[in-house]
Every structure is written in structure tokens, then in C-alpha cells.
Homo-oligomer: A and B are copies of this chain.
């Protein structure tokens, strides 16, 4: 029988709760991944796991691959629902007082399985706004999906209008970095551009797949560099991406004024290439049962 969603486990125990002494709660001292589950497997697991590994290295949190696999398999088997969104949170575990990490770290593995969101953005495109909230810079934290997400929370709290699917985030210098929960790409003169994330932002799994897999397949050159608001306005096509919704064409950017963009050919080609990539099955990783 299917269990009520969201279904969660803490260190492999279904329905368990967290210690108030967990450093994830105290300091946001940990990492997370949000993965689409399709037919009981995580299609992009290899990429999610690699980013998780990188994050654990940066934060010096030991990651036990086998243990995580076991907890994942147990949760997905218990859910008995084969499609949904799996969130993995790995924190540094319980701590005593103070910022100093313990010498021996026992991470907390928290898994949350939720129903799939309804998404129509793929077909019809979305409108986005430019957020007031800016992203700070940190060379160690840039790129990884750590738990210090107040900037994203404050940015997402800026609007209630359901007409905006996302908000674009700039850094302190006014350069475009990402959207609150997705990455951004722009097309111009036959080239694809996406912001350099070496100082701010999350380097998304879908962003990486577009850069390393889809764009090369379509022979579209990709440039990772500084992108200004002027570059954004001069774009011929814009899209957002993440591993939950895939690719969303951006049709409107609202800031002081409103700029409009088509659901153009390059974006359509990438959406098509993503469909084929996800159906190809080569990238599937079945979580060990």
C-alpha cells in the first residue's frame, strides 16, 4: 500500500525526526539535492551524486555512498510510488556548542519524497522578474548546493503573483547569476551563454547536462562568462533549467520595464535533445534495492 507523501526518512528510519542539536538546523551546515524520480529510478543520479560529493569535499563532510544508496532504496521501496521528487539533505550531524566541527563526524542523511509538481512551463514558456535581493560572493561555497539559502528564500518572498514562474538573481555588481531555483541561459548570434558561477550561485545538474551533453550534440558553442543585464536584454532567446522541470523558455523578463522573447528554435532544439537524452536510458542509475 502506498504511504502518504511527503514520505521521509532520517538515517534510514522512515518517519523519524531530527535532533534539535543537528548542525543542519543550527548553521545550515550541510548540502542538498533535489532529484526527479521516474519509474522508480533517478535518471540524473550520476550528476546529482557528483555534485553532492564535491559539496561534501568542500564542506569536509564524509559521505558514505553505500549507506546513502541503501537509505534511498529503502525510502523509494516504502513509498511504492514510482514518480516524484526526491530531496536529499546531508548535514554534518549533531554537534555540541560552537561552530567548530567535531573531529569525528556522523552525518545526518535525510531523504524526503514528494509528489511531482504540475508543470506546464515546458510547453508554453514562462514570465520572470528581476529580484531586488542580491547574491553575495563566496569562493568556497559558490557552485555547490549547500543549506545556506536565505538569499534564495528572500528573493522568492519578493513576489506572490503566480504569473511569474521565477525570479532572476544578480550579484552585488549587478551581473546575472541564476534564478531562485534554476539556472539561466541566453542565446545570441548562434552561441549559448550562461553565467560564470565561480563566485556565486548553484551549478545545477541540468545546466551541466546542457553544457556537456546537449549543446555539444547540437554543435552549439557554449560560453560560460560574465553576463550583464544588458546582455540579457540583448538576448534572442532565454531559458531556465533545472533537474525537476527541465527547460523552460522565458517569454517575458520584467524589471523596470518588460522585455519579450520568443520560444525560439535553439531552445526548442535543446528541449527536444533533452527528451531524447532522458529517454535514451544510458544515463539511468537504478538505485540498488
A-side interface residues toward B, CB under 8 Å? 6, 8, 10, 16-29, 32, 34, 59-60, 85, 87, 89, 91-92, 96-101, 103, 110, 112, 114, 117, 133-134, 136-141, 146-157, 160, 172, 180-181
Contacts and interface: CB of A to CB of B under 8 A. Distances in A.
Contacts of A147: 25-28, 150
**Interface core residue of A26, A133, A180 (most chain B CB under 10 Å):** A26
B149 A99 contact: yes
Nearest to A244: B97
20 contacts: A6-B97, A21-B112, A22-B25, A25-B147, A26-B32, A27-B153, A28-B148, A29-B150, A59-B150, A59-B154, A60-B157, A92-B153, A96-B114, A97-B117, A98-B156, A101-B153, A101-B157, A134-B138, A134-B139, A137-B172
B20 A20 contact: no
Given A21-B112, A29-B153, A136 B133 contact: no
Contact of A20 (B8, B59, B60): B8
A27 B150 contact: yes
Contacts of A117: 97
Contacts of A141: 136, 150-151
Contact of A29 (B22, B34, B149): B149
Given A27-B149, A32-B26, A133-B140, A20 B110 contact: yes
Contacts of A103: 160
A148 B23 CA distance: 11
Given A25-B147, A103-B160, A147-B150, 4 more contacts: A20-B110, A99-B181, A101-B157, A134-B139
B25 A18 contact: yes
A25 B25 contact: yes
Contacts of A34: 97
A19 B89 CA distance: 13
Nearest to A29: B153
A157 to B, nearest CB: 5
A180 to B, nearest CB: 6
Contacts of A23: 153
A162 to B, nearest CB: 11
A41 B44 CA distance: 53
A152 B100 CA distance: 9
B181 A98 contact: yes
Contacts of A17: 17-20
Contacts of A87: 97
A192 B89 CA distance: 44
Contacts of A18: 17-20, 22, 25
Q: Which of A21, A114, A148, A151 gathers most chain B CB within 10 Å?
A: A148
